[in-house]
């Protein structure tokens, strides 16, 4: 599995980005593929070059098995999300002492 992540960090309380996920399935898919993405907004979702919609419930992106195939697969997601205030996801803060802005993520949803 390979992830390519692109972020536009901006200066506000939100960031945007794109994620490309490439992976191989060794057999025909038997059910949906679930991706964690809590409380963000999906602007676009392509699975193997085809537009997929109505698969995000605010917590999980569920890629239907019919959109996947045995062998090479690719998922392209464009999104926006608020910076975290709890430490989950992508957290942004400005240090009062040095004035620098710092980002932190533990790569959870």
Q: In this structure, what is the dihedral angle of CA atoms 5, 16, 18, 76, given to the nearest 10 degrees?
A: 140
Backbone angles phi, psi at 66, to 5 degrees: -65, -20
**Residue pLDDT, tens place only, 71-92:** 999 999 999 999 998 878 899 9
pTM metric for this prediction: 0.88
pLDDT in tens, 4-37: 999 999 888 999 999 999 999 999 999 999 999 9
Q: Which residues does 26 contact at the CB level (< 8 Å), separation at least 6?
A: 70
């Amino acid at each position: 599995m390979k992830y390519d992540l692109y972020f536009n960090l901006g200066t506000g309380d939100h960031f945007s980005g794109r994620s490309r996920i490439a992976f191989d399935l060794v057999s025909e898919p038997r059910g949906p593929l679930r991706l964690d993405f809590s409380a963000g907004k999906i602007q676009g979702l392509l699975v193997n070059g085809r537009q997929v919609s109505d698969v995000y419930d605010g917590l999980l992106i569920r890629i239907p098995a019919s959109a996947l195939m045995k062998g090479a697969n690719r998922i392209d997601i464009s999104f926006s999300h608020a910076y975290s205030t709890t430490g989950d996801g992508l957290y942004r803060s400005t240090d009062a002492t040095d004035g620098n802005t710092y980002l932190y993520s533990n790569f959870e949803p």
